[in-house]
Structure 1
Amino acid sequence: MTTITFNEGMFSDKFVSLDKKPEIIVTECSLPLTPPPEEINESPFWTTENPIQVEEVQTLNTSEPESIVAVIGVGYVGTHLVEAFANHYNVIAFDLSTKRLDEVSKQLTGLPIQFTSNAADISQATHVLISVPTILTDDKKVDTTYLRSAIATVEKYVKPGSTIVVESSVAVGMTRELVGPLMASKNFKVGMSPERVDPGRTFPAFEDISKIVSGLDAASLESISTLYGRVFNKLLPVSSPEVAEMTKLYENCQRMVCATYANEMADACSSIGIDAFEVSNAAASKPFGYLPFRPGPGIGGHCIPVNPYYLLSNLHMPLLEHAATISSSRPRDVARSFVRSVLQEKDYSVYPSQLRLLVVGVGFKRGQSVMSNSPGAAIAHTLKSEYNCHIEFADPLVSTALYSAVPKMDTETNWTVDHLSTYDGIIVSVNQEGLDMDVLANLPSSVKVHDFSGILKNSISSVPSLAAKKEIC
C-alpha cells in the first residue's frame, strides 16, 4: 500500500470548533456492556478486582517488535475488529463480560488473540480501538457511561505514546472533548474511525469497505493510517475527527429519514387502497436519483434508531428530529391501528382484551436474534400494556432467554394452518428465517394478517391507514 505522509499544515485550517457542546448525561446503568444484548451482572465501570481470565486463551507472541492492538468491547462491532486485525497483528480482546469473551473465543480460533477481562492486560498494547456502546437514556439523551469508563481505563493502563482510536459512534466533537486531553497528559496519538458494520451482511467483505480515518493532529492520522492500512484495502483520510463523526451519523441518519418517508408512503397507499410494496418495487426500477427503501413496522438495530439523537444533542436539525420522533412511535401506532382493524372486522363484538394476537419476528431484522430496538418487541409491548390482549411471538432465532415479555409459540410444532387459525390477528414484523410464510397465505379470512415483509401480497393495504390519525377505541 502507498505510504501516506501527513503534516500539520494540511489540516491546520480544517478542524471544527463547536460553540455548543454535546449534552452529556453520565449515569451508572445496568445495560449490557456490548451488543448483542445479554444478561450481565457486572458494573459498566471497568475494574481489575478479581478479574476472570477466559480459559484456553490464545497467548500473544510478544517477542516480535510488532504493533499490539487492544480492542475494548467485543460486541458485534468489536468482534469484527478483533478478527480483522488479528489477521495482521497480535490482538488483545478486552471485555467485562466473560460470557461474551467465551462466545467470541470459540468463534475466532487459530488467530493470535488474547481474550481477557483483566484491564491491566491492555498495558501491552501499542494501539487501542474503543468499540463500546454509546447509548441513550430513557429521555433520549446521550449517555457516555461506557465510553468514559473505557477512556479512564486507557488512561490508567495504556503506556504513553500509544495510539487511541474511537470506533464507537459518538456525537460530533466528542472524540476531541473526551479523548483529546490525553494527548497532553499521556502523549497519546488520538483519532476517530467510525465503524461500518451491518449485521448479517457478507458482501462487500469487511476489509473491502472504505475505511474513514482521522486524527487530532498529523502525527495521529499518520499512525492510524499506517495501522489500518495493513487491514483495510482502501483508506479515506478526512481532515478531523469531527468530519469522521459527522460522516458516520449522516450516513445512518439518512437511512432513518428515508425509511421514515417510506413508511409514510405506505400509510398513504393504505388510505387509497393500493399496495405500498408494489409501489416500492416499481420505484426501485429507476436506475438513478432514487434510493430503494421498503416500508416496515419501525426501525430497529443498534445504530439507526439511536444515532439521530447524537446529532440532535448539539445541532439543530428539525427534519431529522421530526423523522426520529415519528419513527420511534411507529411500532406503537402500528399496534393501535391493527387492534382497531381487528375490532372493526368483528363489528366490535369483543373487547380488545379478548383478542388472541401473534407477532411474527422479534429479532430486529431478518436473520438476527439480536433484540436491539426491535419493532416487533415494541409492537408486542403496546398490545400487552395498552390492551391486555393475549400476545404470543413466533421467532425461531429468538429464545425465551432473550425475550420473555410474552409467551413464545412453538414454531416447530404449531406453525400450521390449524394452529395459526386460532388467532384473531397476526402481525408479521420480520420475515424471519426458518418460517414458511406460505402457511400464512392459506389462513382463513377470519384471521387478520398484517405483513410488513411484503411476502404476502396486499396484506399491508388492508390495514386502516395510520395517516387517518383516528383515535383508537
Structure 2
Amino acid sequence: MTDDSPAARLEQRLAARRARIGVIGLGYVGLPLALVAVEAGFPVTGFDINPQRVADIASGRQVIKYIPAARMAAALATSRFAVTQDFAPLADCDAILICVPTPLTRQREPDLSFVEETARAIAHTLRPGQLVVLESTTWPGTTVEVVKPILEAGGLVCGQDFFLAFSPEREDPGNAHYSTATIPKVVGGEGEAAGRLASALYRDLVTRVVPVSSTQVAEAAKLTENIFRSVNIALVNELKTVYGAMGIDIWEVLEAAATKPFGFMPFYPGPGLGGHCIPIDPFYLTWKAREFDIETRFIELAGQINTRMPYLVVDKLAEALDRLAGRGLSGARILVLGVAYKKNVDDVRESPALKLMELIDERGGDCEFHDPFVAALPPTRRHGRLSGKRSVALTAELLDSVDAVLVATDHDEVDYALVAAHARVLVDTRNVFAKAGLSPAGLVKA
C-alpha cells in the first residue's frame, strides 16, 4: 500500500524536481536562491512587493551588481522562472521560502513586521502538502512562536497538513570563493517530517546540508555566527584605539599575529559595522534574552564599541584637517570614498559610510561621495536626508578641490594612486594605501 500522505506526496515531487518553489523577497538573499533553484531544474515563482524590482527582474535587467545579467537571462529563458507582485500563485507552490528583511526598530528591538505580513499572505492560500521555510535571521523561537500560529490560524495543522522549517541564509555578497550553492545549509524542522522535507529540498540546491534537531537550534546557529564576528570586530576596533594612542599600527600588528598557524583568527578594524546581519542580529538575541531575565553584557558591549566607531573616525578627520590643513571641519569639503557596506558590492544597508556622512554634515562639513558601485543613495529608514545623493566622478580636479578624502569602503575599482597623488589630507579606515604600497603625504590611518 502506497503512502499518500501530504508529506509523502511532497517528497515525491521534490525528488522528481516537479515541486514548484516560491521565493518571497527577491533581494540579496532571495534572488540568488531563486536562481540556484531554477538552475537545479525546479520551476520557481519569485514574489516581491516592489513593482519596479519585479519589472526589472522579469526583463532580465541586472538588479544586483555581482549577479550577471546573462545569468538572469538564462534563468528566464528556461521558462521555469516567473516573478510577480501577486501573492495568489503561492497556492501553486509546493515549497515557500521566506527571504524578507528583519530590521531593528529605532529602539533597537526586533521588527518582525515583514515576517508576520508574509506569513499572513501565505496563510491566505495555505493548503495541505506545502513546505514553508523561514530564511530571515531572527531570535530563537520565531518560527514556532510567531510564524506557526499565523499559518495554523486557518485550521491546518503543522507537521500533519503542512510543514515548517528554518534554514538561515548565509549569503556573503561579492564573495569570490563561496556562493549560494557552495555554502553549507543549516536546516531545522518543526518536527521530523519537516526537517526531512526541507533537507531534501536543499540537498538539490547546495553542496552540503547540515540538519539540526529543531528550528530553534538553526535560528541560534545563525545568530551565533554573526555575534562571533561582531564581538571579534569590536575587539580589534578597541585595540586599534589603544594601539593608536601608543603609536602602534594595528594593521601591522594583525599581519604579524596572523602568521601564527593555530589559535588566532584575524579580524580587521573599520569605520563601523554594515550590512544586513552583523550590526543587527546580535540585538535579536539580547532582546530575547531579557525574556529569560539574562543580561548579554558582552554582546551589548561589542555593539556599543562598533556603533561608536564612526564618531571616532570623524574626530580623526577633524584632527587631521586641523593639523595638516590648518582648518576645522566646519565648512570643509570632504570626499568620502565608498558608501557600500563592504568592498565590491552595491549594498548600502546599515553602511557606516552613511553615518559618517551625516556626522560630517552635522559638524558643518560639505560632504560628497564617489562609489563605482553605487550611482545614487536609495531611501533608507535612518538616513533619509541622504536619499538621492549621487556619486561624483573621481578626477584629479575633484581631488585637488576637496579639503580631505575619507576612505570608508575599500573597493578595488578605485584609482588609489590618483587619490594619493592629489589629495591633501587622506583619512584611511581600511589600510588601502599601505596595501597598494603607497605612502602619500597627509595620510592618517583611522
Match of 1:272 in 2: 246
Q: CA deviation at 1:409?
A: 5.7
Match of 2:225 in 1: 251
Aligned equivalents of 2:442, 2:223: Cα separation in 1? 33
- SS for the counterpart of 1:399 is coil
Match of 2:25 in 1: 73
The alignment status of 1:110 with 2:77, answered yes or no, reads yes
- SS for the counterpart of 1:135 is coil
* Closer, same or farther: CA 207–256 of 1 in aligned 2, 3 Å: same
Match of 2:281 in 1: 307
* Closer, same or farther: CA 401–425 of 1 in aligned 2, 3 Å: closer
Match of 1:234 in 2: 208
Instruction: In structure 2, give the amino acid aligned to 1:301.
Output: G
Aligned equivalents of 2:171, 2:179: Cα separation in 1? 10
Instruction: In structure 2, give the amino acid aligned to 1:371.
Output: V
Does the Cα contact within 8 Å between 2:376 and 2:391 map onto a contact in 1? no
TM-score normalised according to structure 2 size = 0.83
* Closer, same or farther: CA 460–297 of 1 in aligned 2, 3 Å: farther
Superposed counterparts of 1:214-363, under 5 Å: 214-315=188-289, 316-347=295-326, 350-363=327-340
Instruction: In structure 2, give the amino acid aligned to 1:450.
Output: V
Does the Cα contact within 8 Å between 2:335 and 2:402 map onto a contact in 1? yes
Please list the CA deviations of residues 58-105 of structure 1 after superposition, one character each: whole Å capped at 9, or x if unmatched. xxxxxx982111111111100111011122311111111121123333
Aligned equivalents of 2:233, 2:57: Cα separation in 1? 32
Match of 1:397 in 2: 373
Please list the CA deviations of residues 165-203 of structure 1 after superposition, one character each: whole Å capped at 9, or x if unmatched. 101111111111012233583232111011111000132
Q: CA deviation at 1:371?
A: 1.0
Please list the CA deviations of residues 6-51 of structure 1 after superposition, one character each: whole Å capped at 9, or x if unmatched. xxxxxxxxxxxxxxxxxxxxxxxxxxxxxxxxxxxxxxxxxxxxxx
Ranges in structure 1 where 5+ consecutive residues have no aligned partner? 1-63, 466-473
Does the Cα contact within 8 Å between 1:360 and 1:394 map onto a contact in 2? yes
Aligned equivalents of 2:145, 2:236: Cα separation in 1? 37
Higher relative contact order structure (alpha carbons within 8 Å, sequence separation ≥ 6): 1
- SS for the counterpart of 2:124 is helix
The alignment status of 1:173 with 2:155, answered yes or no, reads no
- SS for the counterpart of 1:136 is coil
Match of 1:379 in 2: 356
Match of 1:410 in 2: 392
Does the Cα contact within 8 Å between 2:76 and 2:82 map onto a contact in 1? no
Q: CA deviation at 1:462?
A: 6.5
Task: Indicate which of 200, 203, 213 corresponds to 2:187.
Answer: 213
Instruction: In structure 2, give the amino acid aligned to 1:280.
Output: L
Instruction: In structure 1, give the amino acid aligned to 2:114.
Output: Y
The alignment status of 1:96 with 2:49, answered yes or no, reads yes
Superposed counterparts of 1:120-135, under 5 Å: 120-135=88-103
Aligned equivalents of 1:301, 1:394: Cα separation in 2? 19
- What is the RMSD computed on CA atoms of the aligned residues? 2.4
TM-score normalised according to structure 1 size = 0.78
Instruction: In structure 1, give the amino acid aligned to 2:311.
Output: R
Q: Structure 1 residues 194-203 or 424-433, which shifts more?
A: 424-433
The alignment status of 1:451 with 2:443, answered yes or no, reads no
The alignment status of 1:435 with 2:420, answered yes or no, reads no
* Closer, same or farther: CA 361–401 of 1 in aligned 2, 3 Å: closer
- SS for the counterpart of 1:371 is coil
Aligned equivalents of 2:444, 2:429: Cα separation in 1? 11
* Closer, same or farther: CA 388–221 of 1 in aligned 2, 3 Å: same
Q: CA deviation at 1:346?
A: 4.5
* Closer, same or farther: CA 459–258 of 1 in aligned 2, 3 Å: farther
Does the Cα contact within 8 Å between 1:92 and 1:115 map onto a contact in 2? yes
Q: Structure 1 residues 66-75 or 104-113, which shifts more?
A: 104-113
* Closer, same or farther: CA 459–135 of 1 in aligned 2, 3 Å: farther
Please list the CA deviations of residues 197-221 of structure 1 after superposition, one character each: whole Å capped at 9, or x if unmatched. 1000132342222111111111111
Does the Cα contact within 8 Å between 1:384 and 1:391 map onto a contact in 2? yes
Higher helix share: 2
Report the number of matched residues: 395
Aligned equivalents of 1:362, 1:294: Cα separation in 2? 18
Aligned equivalents of 1:192, 1:460: Cα separation in 2? 52
Task: Indicate which of 148, 173, 183 corresponds to 2:116.
Answer: 148
Q: Structure 1 residues 220-229 or 107-116, which shifts more?
A: 107-116
Does the Cα contact within 8 Å between 1:183 and 1:190 map onto a contact in 2? no
